[in-house]
Structure 1
Amino acid sequence: MASKQEFSLPLKLLVDKERNRVVVAEAGGDLVDIFFSFLTLPLGTITRLVSKKQVQDEAEEIGCINNLYHSVESSGAEVFWNHICKRMLLCPRNPCEALCQKLKVNVDDSEPMKYFMCSNKCRRGGNWFLSTFAGASCSCGRLMDKEMKLHGDTSEGTCEDCVFVKGNTMYLIFDDLRVQQSSPGNSVQQLVQLGYRNLHRLTETSLNVGLKEILDLLKQALISKSPLSDVFLGNGASKRVCTFSPKSRPENQGWQFNNSSSINLKVTVRKSKKTILYAEAEGDFVDFLLSFLTTPLGYVLELLDGNFSLGCMNNLYKSVKDLNLSWFTNPLSTPLLNLQVAPQFGCNRQPIQLYEKYTPCYWYGTGVLKNNICYVIGNGVISKDQSLIQHPVAMKLFEPRSPDGTRESSVGFVRRPSLFVVWDDLQVTPLANTSSISFLQKLNVPLDDLEEHQLRIGEIEALNLLGASLTSKAALTEGLFYLLKKPKEEAKA
């Protein structure tokens, strides 16, 4: 049987040969599931996938998220609380990981979640500790490297073949990744709207789609309005379509901020260019930026709805919202309409409040219960359902984003106290042991052309930064410079 890396799925295309474009494609639920899974991918995962250079293919860049990702890659271990924090940002967890593992072809090459305990079975405060990250350090000094099996996990449903949509039906996929149920009525309506009174100008082509083609479609869907034509007809030079319009804070709201989540930021402007050259930032602002990498694409599209366009990903997300709920495997609550950051991968203190998915409770026991019979397991067993195990004891999850892993809430990814320079293109540079004189010399900018401003970043400003990071090579200028056009006393904290 073919592995998932080798698996391919059938796709039927209707092609307008004169215009060299795919008019519409038809596929089963297995392929539509793969397209919809793009929405579940965290931005860090997408950056890693599209940055891989293929033969005869150049790495694709998305705004300046790539710079943020590569800043993490190039930062030393001393910048973060520990090596796990850096790994979390470079390989963020998909909140729908268990579902996506069922895909016939899964573009996410991240390691599946595993569970670890200390081999000494240490307790802290009377609690067993469980880590979902390999290599975490226990308080006893040993690594939490005893891998545990999760027993009886039914949190993602019981259907082995079902992922997001029902697979025993066909779907229409248009060149701009709009997805609809396949029916004669829908086909006629859409073809007429596209200017086709009959099928005489259209040629049918059948092909198989594997991992390479799906990765190519992911790349093109982020920048183009015609990814099917780009990939299958060689129209790869399509015009990049990524737009964002920053929102302004409504005047009737004044400049009031939630002090518990807003962030102060000092920016330096180059007056002659009317750009923000860089920002001097502490750990809170850098953690906020880094949290972009752990946020699923579909969650970003939801937050920036109405003033943001990223290739044709908006069409894919809108298709999920418009698709009749009865076509989903879970009609009452499809996870695609409630995407959140994976548990333990969020950032608590930040202006947008990117919510984490609910963290389940875990239980440790000495054996499993089946038909009221206990089967003892030598190393013990863990489960999300305490009724399935013998002598269940509640466990606490190890928190890697804290100095000792025992805090109730994380303190972010980067160490405190810390100071960074965030450049306009979101390259992040630690300022530890950096000479300010040497820094200014390297800028090579006339000092009287520099002007310093104090800004406060609230929810609207944070959303503007998020949108600009995906669509612009100058995210600070694109997302925040409008604040400097306001009266100075309003723009200040």
Structure 2
Amino acid sequence: MGSKRVHLKVYVDKKKNKVMFAEAEEDFVEILFSFLTLPLGTIARLSSKHEATKDVTVGSLDSLYKSMENLDIKHFSNEHCKIALVNPNSSAVSLCEKLKINLNNAKRVDSRASDTPGEVVFFKEKTSFIITDDLKVIPVKLDTSITLLHCLGVEYIDLLKETTLDFGFDEFTCLLKWSLVTNTPLTNYVNNVSRGSKPCPCFCSCSSCIKTSTTSNVPLISCNPTQRETVKLLIQKSKNKVLCAQAENFFVEMLFSFLTIPLGKVKRLITDASSPTGIDNVYDCISTTLGDGNYLKSDEIKHMLLCPKLASNYLRVTDLLPIYEQRTNYGSFLKEQGTFIVSDDLEVTASPSLSIISKFNTLGIPMGDIEVMEVSIGKEEALSILKASLTSTTALTDCLGSFKNAK
């Protein structure tokens, strides 16, 4: 495991027990920005292995990932398809290897560029930044700093507790998770900091669901707006709650494809300002304040962060999401034919059985309170489920309204 560390100076209001702001150099901010290049499966893997935040869930993403990990290998096209989901590849891995700490690196070793200290990866030059508790990133300038401190209600910096924190792989993993679930990730991190987790160390390529040749730099193709598939939902009528879904391969392929999508692309697809988290603020800062041409090295870097591509070796496994390059060929993670049960929090299990009904009875749900509803899934519904996977542990119930309105 690598020993590289970067530093963050935090200023804490001791009375409120809250981080008011932090000061960081460009190496910290670049690693923060690299969060957007991580596939959702990588985020789920890091999340599941991190002891400090094991009781904090990232929507339904954690249960989707764990169920995929636990699904018998016989349901996959071959063993490499499963491995490629357990440890998804990133299209930005070669660039992120130049960062002082590379979260894309499943083996957790020092990056190849770590022997050249001082290299700036995303920015034009070395720069100092102020980072707010909700992860707004602002270059240090006299006028903007004074304005920010006024907005934060900071009258005297000397009254704040100043602490310098060292960040390594585990610390950034912890901050990543808090950035996805709260709008006060720095405060949550400082109040819950601890160390110790070991992510899975393997990655493999697969001839069925991914390919080894690189894809040309071509525009994304829109998913077929008329493409629709049907899924049967078991609904608890008294609570208008989805108990589970009975689905064929197409639905599970779509869910598993979530794990291959970089976080920045997800944010681009499902932008929602109603309840922003820290990572939303990171995304917005890149698209506005820091993406004006004065700070990032190039428009290519900006686009890579705001709309990162799937790794070029993944084939198209679903037509319901606009995430693939134009000439991406078709493939599959799963074997042909199959029926699966998907729970409200997107846990996938194989082979429906009467034990499911028995489980509902054990939970006190009588048969008369259960109805079967057949719903149609298209692009809008797929995007709704993707969004809910990051924000809710009742993803299917949250999307029930859009299912009912689908035509």
**Contact (CA 8 Å) 1:222, 1:310: kept in 2 or not?**
no
**Contact (CA 8 Å) 2:264, 2:283: kept in 1 or not?**
yes
Residue 187 of structure 1 pairs with residue 145 of structure 2: yes
Aligned counterparts of 1:430 and 1:160: Cα–Cα separation in 2: 50
Residue 46 of structure 1 pairs with residue 43 of structure 2: yes
Q: Per the alignment, do residues 293 and 438 of structure 1 end up closer, same or farther by CA in structure 2, a change over 3 Å counting?
A: same
**Contact (CA 8 Å) 2:257, 2:318: kept in 1 or not?**
no
Aligned counterparts of 1:344 and 1:480: Cα–Cα separation in 2: 34
Could you say which structure has the greater relative contact order, defined with CA pairs below 8 angstroms and 6 or more residues apart? 2
Which residue of 379, 383, 388 corresponds with 1:463? 383
Which residue of 94, 99, 102 corresponds with 1:103? 99
Letter of the 2:72 counterpart: G
Q: Per the alignment, do residues 428 and 67 of structure 1 end up closer, same or farther by CA in structure 2, a change over 3 Å counting?
A: same
Q: 1:452-482 deviations in whole A, cap 9, x for unaligned?
A: 2221112211111111111111111111245
Aligned counterparts of 1:263 and 1:234: Cα–Cα separation in 2: 44
Residue in structure 2 matched with residue 326 of structure 1 by the alignment: 294
Residue in structure 2 matched with residue 282 of structure 1 by the alignment: 248
Letter of the 2:350 counterpart: P
Aligned counterparts of 1:30 and 1:260: Cα–Cα separation in 2: 45
CA RMSD, 1 decimal: 2.8
Aligned counterparts of 2:80 and 2:265: Cα–Cα separation in 1: 24
Q: Per the alignment, do residues 332 and 45 of structure 1 end up closer, same or farther by CA in structure 2, a change over 3 Å counting?
A: closer
Q: How does 1:68-83 map to 2 (within 5 A)?
A: 68-83=64-79
Q: Per the alignment, do residues 294 and 452 of structure 1 end up closer, same or farther by CA in structure 2, a change over 3 Å counting?
A: same
| Partner SS state of residue 298, structure 2 | coil
| Partner SS state of residue 288, structure 1 | helix
Q: 1:9-49 deviations in whole A, cap 9, x for unaligned?
A: 23222332332222221211111110001111111111111
Q: 1:138-175 deviations in whole A, cap 9, x for unaligned?
A: xxxxxxxxxxxxxxxxxxxxx99332223512111111
Larger radius of gyration: 1
Shift of 1:333: 4.7
Residue in structure 2 matched with residue 352 of structure 1 by the alignment: 321
Aligned counterparts of 2:91 and 2:69: Cα–Cα separation in 1: 22
Residue in structure 1 matched with residue 270 of structure 2 by the alignment: 304
Which residue of 421, 430, 439 corresponds with 2:341? 421
Aligned counterparts of 1:343 and 1:289: Cα–Cα separation in 2: 19
Letter of the 2:329 counterpart: S
Aligned counterparts of 1:450 and 1:13: Cα–Cα separation in 2: 52
Residue 268 of structure 1 pairs with residue 234 of structure 2: yes
Q: Per the alignment, do residues 338 and 234 of structure 1 end up closer, same or farther by CA in structure 2, a change over 3 Å counting?
A: closer
Residue in structure 1 matched with residue 111 of structure 2 by the alignment: none
- Per the normalisation by structure 2, the TM-score is 0.82
Letter of the 1:263 counterpart: E
- Per the normalisation by structure 1, the TM-score is 0.68
Shift of 1:259: 6.7
Aligned counterparts of 2:67 and 2:34: Cα–Cα separation in 1: 27
Q: Which runs of 4+ in 1 moved over 6 A?
A: none
Q: 1:173-226 deviations in whole A, cap 9, x for unaligned?
A: 111111111111110111111123443433433343222322221122122222
Shift of 1:277: 1.5
Larger helix proportion of the pair: 2
Residue 315 of structure 1 pairs with residue 281 of structure 2: yes
Shift of 1:89: 0.9
